[in-house]
Homo-oligomer: A and B are copies of this chain.
Amino acid sequence: MPSIDGRRVVADLKRLAEFGRYKTGVHRPTYAPVDVESRHWLAEKLREAGLDAVIDGIGNVIGRNPKARRRLLVGSHSETQPYGGWLDGSLGVIYGLELARAFAADPGCAELGIEVAAWADEEGHYGNFLGSRSFTDALSDEEIDQTRGRDNGTPLREALERAGFAGRPRDRVDPSRYIGYLEAHIEQGDTLDTSGLRIGVVETIVGIWNYRVSLVGEQNHAGTTRMVRRRDAGVAMVRLATRIHDRFPEIAGPRTVWTIGRILLEPNAPTVVPGRAEMQVQFRDADLDRLAAFEKALHELVNEADRAGPCACKIEPIARTEPRHMDSGFQDQIEAAAEQHASGMHMRLPSAAGHDAAVLSYRMPAGMMFIPSLRGISHHWSEDTKEEDIVLGAQVFADAAERILRSAH
């Protein structure tokens, strides 16, 4: 069995967290200079592990094993949310790196190859799952042409140019090359932490549906424009958002979640009546019918607000992922590895977060393993996991990868 070096895993995670460190977390948006720097560092680490590493035309770092006869693709994404955590994404990438090293060092694994991927922009600074979608042929050049950064409106092409990735070929998957795809991640929720368990075997990844709702009124002076004459897009937005938050609980299932995480007012000045407003509405569930019911309710609320006036309200879908089941054989192997190293300390559970594994699952069998998140906190700089859980997780993950590679036929 390939044996991981726990201290090396933790040291590499800490080193990677230096790129964009913010308090005890990391601020490393996709294609920002620190993100580009970290991808070059990762490519170098993959080369040291004996892999042929490239950074491709969308920023994916991919390390290929030139010798193995059976290959498992292992990875996650390496950018972070704004002022986010040090483990989210990075954990799965460093686990991949460690597995490549551990398998290479184990003479019994000579024919078993770990290939590693650090996907670009899973976190959606520009698009959604740009890297894994590019790799799986689900991202067109036209979409790249039209995509802009959500924070500063920078065209994606310009960001790639500045990052030095423009003009490079985009790597596309050859599914016959792989047994499948395996991804490790912190849970990000508190199910494992509150149950005192140490390993999660992911059964499904929820579907995530996203919408942009825009409201257009008339920008004007906040003193001289009488209330009756106003068409205040900010008022229209807070009223519509309140109605959404009132309506959604009526149709939610036990695990449905919804979020209005992003709001823009224009011009967003205290003495100007807002002329335009925008909000992004998202909901998640593992059940397709429930997702459809949410969409219907959202459309109804927006249309009602539009008809009622005085602002024009419009809704457009911006990204939608379907609920995805993880490969059941992979689930069994992860569970068996967990039972060996942490008997009775594991459970099966759904993932309420989206992951690159959902994208990869369209092209090859895919599996995911969780380790606990302290207090379930994620997408925040204070996100953390006990060091012993990080180390245990790496060993379970290596064992699971070997089982999956050996069981393939």
Contact = CB atoms under 8 A, between A and B. Distances in A.
B271 A379 contact: yes
A150 interface: yes
A65 to B, nearest CB: 32
A261 B257 contact: no
B378 A269 contact: no
B222 A282 contact: yes
Interface stretch (A153-161, A182-190, A323-331): A182-190
Contact of A234 (B206, B256, B263, B271): B263
Contact of A380 (B190, B219, B257): B219
A190 B282 contact: no
A384 interface: no
A220 B238 CA distance: 21
A261 B265 contact: yes
A222 B270 contact: no
A391 B359 CA distance: 65
A234 B249 CA distance: 16
B263 A221 contact: no
A262 interface: yes
A241 B265 CA distance: 14
A353 B272 CA distance: 11
Nearest to A370: B224
B261 A189 contact: no
Contact of A223 (B221, B223, B232, B352): B352
Contacts of A257: 222-223, 225-227
Nearest to A88: B221
Contacts of A223: 188-189, 206, 208, 257, 284, 351-354
Interface string A382-398: 00000000000000000
Q: Interface size class for chain A?
A: 35 or more
A340 interface: no
Contacts of A229: 190, 376
B379 A221 contact: yes
A210 B380 CA distance: 31
A249 to B, nearest CB: 7
Nearest to A259: B222
A268 B226 CA distance: 31
A109 interface: no
A189 B270 CA distance: 17
A280 interface: yes
A173 interface: no
Contact of A188 (B224, B270, B275, B282): B224
Contacts of A354: 223
A180 to B, nearest CB: 23
A305 to B, nearest CB: 13
Contacts of A6: none
B284 A352 contact: no
A123 B272 CA distance: 10
19 contacts: A81-B269, A82-B272, A189-B224, A189-B225, A208-B223, A221-B377, A222-B379, A223-B351, A223-B353, A227-B258, A234-B241, A234-B263, A238-B242, A259-B271, A262-B265, A262-B268, A262-B270, A269-B379, A270-B280
